[in-house]
Structure 1
């Protein structure tokens, strides 16, 4: 069998603090048009793709923070992206900062959405593994205040059945730091996800452990490749890259096969599109063999691991 979907990973170069949403959306549309011209059914953008990575600054006034958030999607500045997707008949994944009201209070999330080729919302994900810190730490060369500006996601790791061409597949989403945690892929994998879409903004400098700076690219690919292989799924990891407002961001956006092999990778730190024809049926090579959960894991053993919170005790 062959259920092929052509996917475009649309890496973004730096976004200036002064760049308007309209300017950024224009760049997204150009990448979308290129993706369509190259036969793509789905295009994947990075985390917080509509703005610069604003958590690198400390803001005291909440009103100032809220200017970076979208109160509706599509909104006045993003409607053009949805309209173009409908015109081109192409789906997309988009990371953005979400401001919403729930239960009479305003909430803030680091969010991604999966949009169908008719412009319809297929699914939403809110980032669970928030990195960084909550207070201004002057010793850092730049801040990483995701814990201050966002709440932990409350939607779990859902799986979505979707069709971006004649073939139906099962898709999942995650954001940035989520990709480092094996639970992300395993929860998606246990739901049968065949392709995980993951946007990220990753600085090359890790302030807490700078001796690991040279490992940032290695750890990025290690996480994406291990998650793909151990769960038998395609993984599309898409970066914001380059020197953005003085912060050097990792690029190397890539598409990883269910075997864990990188089959396509960006070669610049600018706006760049890579594409791959991904056969979703290749997931079976892993799911039905080396990582066949039902065949190779006794149900009682798995229950024991869960009930003891991972501390496996002697029987």
Structure 2
């Protein structure tokens, strides 16, 4: 499959972010991509950089239900351009709880599944527990190209997340993220490469770019094969990164080098 990573910056207006997202979908389709992946909370500034008790942003104003026009715009663009998309939104459920959620939408505009962030950070510039409810499951979502797992940003720092997705048959793990230049960039790249290798799975990590108050988002979105090798990597500016992936290679790698099948979970804590 051909995958596109929409490395983009976000403004304060949802409508402008929608327009950017829809335009990137069309560009990805023009480059014959089968799927486009977006960064974390693509319709808003990164409001979790502020504690909820001291924020200049109306975070609640960026929360949206599944039938919101901003989500519908992505679904319609998928159908019009015959491409899959994985947008990440601040999703409000019917019970009022809000999640950092990635949707998997097919080329007919249908929602195949969704995954929220499971592990919620609470640290300087990442006051995410003030805003997000943790998801209570780790899911693999079937698509026409293969089985896909979503690992939302902070979840990738827990090896159990990607390992669980691989054990459940994911051929590709996508990571919508918000990595900053203040964080150890090289470590983040190696973290993704090592987990792709150890779990014999393709990984595509899509990051934000731009400066938002005290945060500078680093870009450097990356696609890694199941052998841990970098297939494609973006720079630090807005970019549509396109790469070809062999999803079947993940299963072949697991057969050739059966790291996951030789596990001894009875010994693990």
CA RMSD, Structure 1 to Structure 2 (Å): 1.9
**Secondary structure of the corresponding residue to residue 197 of structure 1:** strand
TM-aligned CA distance change 1:302 to 1:246, over 3 Å = closer
Question: Once the two structures are superposed, what CA deviation does each residue of 1:252-293 show, in whole Å capped at 9, x if it has no partner?
Answer: 0011111111110112322x1111111112113421122343
Alignment partner, residue 125 of structure 1: 115
Tell me how far apart the structure 2 counterparts of residues 200 and 77 of structure 1 sit (CA, whole Å): 20
Q: Map 1:200-211 to 2 at 5 A.
A: 200-205=177-182
8 A contact 2:176–2:207 mirrored in 1: yes
Alignment partner, residue 6 of structure 2: 10
Alignment length (residue pairs): 268
Q: Map 1:28-67 to 2 at 5 A.
A: 28-60=21-53, 64-67=58-61
Deviates more, 1:91-100 or 1:55-64: 55-64
Tell me how far apart the structure 2 counterparts of residues 203 and 260 of structure 1 sit (CA, whole Å): 23
Unaligned segments of structure 2, at least 5 residues: none
Alignment partner, residue 152 of structure 1: 134
**Secondary structure of the corresponding residue to residue 267 of structure 2:** helix
8 A contact 1:57–1:144 mirrored in 2: yes
> Normalized against structure 1, the TM-score is what?
0.80
8 A contact 2:118–2:135 mirrored in 1: yes
TM-aligned CA distance change 1:120 to 1:268, over 3 Å = same
Tell me how far apart the structure 2 counterparts of residues 85 and 74 of structure 1 sit (CA, whole Å): 15
Q: Is 1:224–2:220 an aligned residue pair?
A: no
> Normalized against structure 2, the TM-score is what?
0.93
Q: Is 1:198–2:175 an aligned residue pair?
A: yes
Tell me how far apart the structure 1 counterparts of residues 199 and 52 of structure 2 sit (CA, whole Å): 40
**Secondary structure of the corresponding residue to residue 176 of structure 2:** strand
Tell me how far apart the structure 2 counterparts of residues 78 and 20 of structure 1 sit (CA, whole Å): 15
Q: Is 1:265–2:261 an aligned residue pair?
A: no
Q: Is 1:303–2:266 an aligned residue pair?
A: yes
Unaligned segments of structure 1, at least 5 residues: 134-139, 206-212, 311-315
Q: Is 1:108–2:98 an aligned residue pair?
A: yes
Which structure's CA Rg is the greater one? 1
Question: Once the two structures are superposed, what CA deviation does each residue of 1:184-209 show, in whole Å capped at 9, x if it has no partner?
Answer: 1110010111000110012222xxxx
Q: Map 1:239-278 to 2 at 5 A.
A: 239-270=207-238, 272-278=239-245
Tell me how far apart the structure 1 counterparts of residues 24 and 88 of structure 2 sit (CA, whole Å): 15
> By how many angstroms is 1:80 displaced?
2.2
8 A contact 1:231–1:291 mirrored in 2: no
Tell me how far apart the structure 2 counterparts of residues 120 and 78 of structure 1 sit (CA, whole Å): 11
